[in-house]
Amino acid sequence: MQNQTVELNSVIYNAANQSFEALATVYAETTSSSFACAINAPIDMNFKDAAKGLTTQALRRFNGNAGLSSAHPLSIPSPMVRAGRTQPRKVVDAFEMLRQLAA
């Protein structure tokens, strides 16, 4: 088993997507790889738990076990149901809303 370490850089909370995001670099022996990682979480999640989720995602990607999340391109958001909600949030297209107001 390889000794792998993860370095998280530029950790931010993206309020629009309600997710923590970071650039994660995984170091293993003589190789390293960087990944853009994001986890859906409430803004009041403590940093330790957010870092653990981001680290887990980076290690899965590094080891080739990204699962279903890698099957969807980042440009197409998939509807997600958050805890306590029965339906996914409605995604608002700001440009379409402005077109309707202008008409």
Tens of pLDDT, residue by residue over 13-55, are 999 989 999 999 999 888 888 999 999 999 999 999 999 999 9
Q: How many domains does the chain have?
A: 1
pLDDT tens per residue, range 49-83: 999 999 999 999 988 854 444 443 344 455 555 55
Range of the domain at 26: 1-74
Q: What is the pTM of this model?
A: 0.60
93 within a domain of the structure (yes/no): no
Contacts of 39 (CB under 8 A, 6+ apart): 19, 20, 50, 53, 54, 57
Q: Is residue 48 part of a domain?
A: yes
Question: Looking at the DSSP assignment, which residues form a beta bridge with residue 100?
Answer: none
The 3 state secondary structure assigned to 59-83 is HHHHCCCCHHHHHCCCCCCCCCCCC
Strand partners of residue 19: 14, 40
